[in-house]
Structure 1
Amino acid sequence: MPTAASGGAATSSAASGEQGGGGDVAAYVQAQRAYVKCLRENGVDAPDPDDKGNIDFGDDPALKKDAEFQAATEKCADHLRAVPESVEKGNQTELTAEQIKVKQQYAKCMQENGASDFPDPGPDGLGQGEWDQSSAGAKRAIRICGPIVGVPATPGPGKG
């Protein structure tokens, strides 16, 4: 998901190790207000954050490339805070039963093919936590299980 700094709604997880208590949300909203104030002081007509701190800059891809916007987001970056877990989860769309089943199949495949610490998804299909992605077993499991979630087993050549 895009962040406030990238020109989209501020819903990205940036080290969201915070718990979802009301105090975290209030502090996050306050930080987002300070971020918007800073952007405005630096020439960007930024919208007010909503009651959960989300800032909707719209879907204009040119905004990200705008030099004034880029300069303002750099100057104001110290106001950005991690999105509280409760806000982040509230911004995610609810998964269908089929999507949850796919997440469960993927987790089982990962666990059985070298990533034994890969977390099981919660009942809503979300909530996967930390796991070691750098081990040889994890890399093997990703290759084997990737097709379950639409990642090709042998990706084509990179572009660029």
Structure 2
Amino acid sequence: MKMRSRAGFGAASLVVALVLTGCGGGDEGAGGEVASAGRSTPGGASASGSAHGTDELAGYVEAQREWVGCLRENGLDAPDPDAKGKVDLGDARKAKSDPKFLVAQEKCQSLVPSVPDSLEREMQPALSAKEIEQKKRYAKCMQEGGAPDFPDTDDKGFSKEVAWDSTSVGAKRAQRTCGSIVGVPDDAAPAKG
């Protein structure tokens, strides 16, 4: 099973945040910047700053422009995305009761692009030294406890994007053994198998 749940979860979280908190239309200066997620953009995961990462960002910004164009066609006064694809739609609270926004959002949902992995990582808050050490201890415990293919953790606390078998008996045993390192209670660990 490919370990891409963090990116998938992050993208899904952004879509939920966009819909639930709303992106109020037309109230400039309120600071409601939005990065949206949903549809794939050109390119794959990459390190920030690489040529591939630049192409990935350019594809994301272009996809955001397409989404903004759709919002405009459906009656919403939406600004252009910034250099990182963020779209400032103003006061997010107003969107919940703005029928114009809700209609435009629904009609344009299929154009909402996925946030590239490199940009998503930039948007996440930096982890403390203690949190990074905790994630590294968890990775080492998993690898030594029965999941030798579990991904290493980099110096910023991110797991490297590698495929690993989370369904093997060894992996399940390691998850039960190591879960407490990252705050997973014993009763929430995968069942024995």
The bucket for the TM-score relative to the shorter chain is 0.7 to 0.9
Superposed CA offset, 1:65-113 (max 9, x none)? 9886565445323323332233122112222211111010010111122
* 1:59 Cα deviation after fit: 8.9
* 1:122 Cα deviation after fit: 0.9
Query: Residue 36 and residue 11 in structure 1: after superposition, are their counterparts in 2 closer, same or farther (change >3 A)?
Result: closer
Query: Residue 102 and residue 66 in structure 1: after superposition, are their counterparts in 2 closer, same or farther (change >3 A)?
Result: farther
Residues 1:17 and 2:37 aligned together:
no
Does structure 2 retain, via aligned residues, the 8 Å contact 1:25–1:87? yes
State the partner residue of 1:136.
169
SS at match of 2:81: coil
**Larger displacement relative to structure 2 (75-84 or 65-74):** 65-74
Q: TM-score, normalised by structure 2?
A: 0.62
State the partner residue of 1:89.
121
Q: What RMSD over aligned residues (CA atoms) do the two structures have, in Å? A: 3.3
Residue segments in structure 2 that go unaligned for 5+ positions in a row: 1-9, 22-33, 47-51, 189-193
Query: Residue 50 and residue 118 in structure 1: after superposition, are their counterparts in 2 closer, same or farther (change >3 A)?
Result: same
Q: TM-score, normalised by structure 1?
A: 0.73
Matches within 5 A, 1:38-57: 38-44=70-76, 46=78, 48-55=80-87
Does structure 2 retain, via aligned residues, the 8 Å contact 1:33–1:48? yes
Matches within 5 A, 1:74-85: 74-85=106-117
Structure with bigger RCO (C-alpha 8 Å, 6+ apart):
2
AA matched with 2:119 = V
Q: Number of matched residues?
A: 155
Bigger Rg over Cα: 2
**Larger displacement relative to structure 2 (56-65 or 103-112):** 56-65
* 1:46 Cα deviation after fit: 4.7
Query: Residue 31 and residue 60 in structure 1: after superposition, are their counterparts in 2 closer, same or farther (change >3 A)?
Result: same
Residues 1:148 and 2:181 aligned together:
yes
Identity rate, percent? 47
Query: Residue 11 and residue 140 in structure 1: after superposition, are their counterparts in 2 closer, same or farther (change >3 A)?
Result: farther
AA matched with 1:154 = D
SS at match of 2:177: helix
